[in-house]
Structure 1
Amino acid sequence: MADGAKQAGPGMRPAVREAYGPADLSGMPMFAGGFINFGYWRAIDLDLPLDETDRIRSQEDLYGRVLEAAGLPGARELLEVGCGLGMGCASALREYGHVKVTAMDIHPDQLRRARDAHADLLGKEPERLRFVQGAAERMPLADGEFDAVISVEAAQHFPDLDAFAAQTARVLRPGGRVAVASFFTVDDAPGRPGELAALLDTFANGLDIARPVRALTDAMTAAGLTDVHAESIGRHVWPGWDRWLSRWWAPDTWPRNFLHAYEQHILDYYVVTAERPR
Structure 2
Amino acid sequence: MLSSGDPTEQSAPVVRPEVWETYGPADLSAVPVFAGGFINFGYWKAVDLERSLSQADRIRSERDLYRHVLDAAAPEGGRAVEIGCGLGLGCALALEEYGPTAITGVDIHPHQLQRARKANSALLEAQPHRLRFVLGAAEDLPLGDGEFDCLYSVEAAQHFPDLSAFAREAARVLRPGGRVAVTSFFTVGGAPEPARRLAGLLDSFASGLDIARPVSRLADALTEAGFADVRTVSIGPQVWPGWDRWLSRLWAPGTWPRNFLAAWEQQILDYYLVTASLP
TM-score in same-fold range (> 0.5):
yes
Q: Segments of 4+ in structure 1 off by > 6 A? A: none
Are 2:89 and 1:84 equivalent residues in the alignment? Answer: no
Separation in 1, partners of 2:174, 2:75: 14
- Which residue number in structure 2 is paired with residue 55 of structure 1? 58
SS in 2 for 1:78: strand
Separation in 2, partners of 1:185, 1:269: 9
SS in 2 for 1:237: helix
**Could you tell me the TM-score, scaled by structure 1's length?**
0.95
Give yes or no for contact 2:75–2:100 (8 Å, CA) kept in 1: no
Separation in 1, partners of 2:190, 2:182: 19
- Which residue number in structure 2 is paired with residue 35 of structure 1? 38
2:61 alignment partner AA: S
For 1:159-170, list aligned pairs within 5 A: 159-170=161-172
* Distance apart, 1:188 and its partner CA: 5.3
* Distance apart, 1:97 and its partner CA: 3.2
Separation in 2, partners of 1:96, 1:250: 39
For 1:42-191, list aligned pairs within 5 A: 42-73=45-76, 75-187=77-189, 189=191, 191=193
Change (3 A) 1:250 1:145: same
* Distance apart, 1:9 and its partner CA: 4.2
- Which residue number in structure 1 is paired with residue 265 of structure 2? 263
- Which residue number in structure 2 is paired with residue 4 of structure 1? none
Give yes or no for contact 1:8–1:140 (8 Å, CA) kept in 2: no
Identity percentage of aligned residues: 66
Aligned positions, number: 270
Task: Summarize deviations over 1:74-94 as a string: whole Å, max 9, x none.
Answer: x41000000000010010011
* Distance apart, 1:187 and its partner CA: 1.5
5+ residue gaps, structure 2: 1-9
Query: What is the alpha-carbon root mean square deviation over aligned residues?
Result: 1.1
1:176 alignment partner AA: G
**Could you tell me the TM-score, scaled by structure 2's length?**
0.95
Question: In structure 2, which of residues 205, 208, 216 is the aligned counterpart of residue 206 of structure 1?
Answer: 208
* Distance apart, 1:222 and its partner CA: 0.4
Give yes or no for contact 1:217–1:272 (8 Å, CA) kept in 2: yes
For 1:224-243, list aligned pairs within 5 A: 224-243=226-245
SS in 1 for 2:34: helix
- Which residue number in structure 2 is paired with residue 254 of structure 1? 256
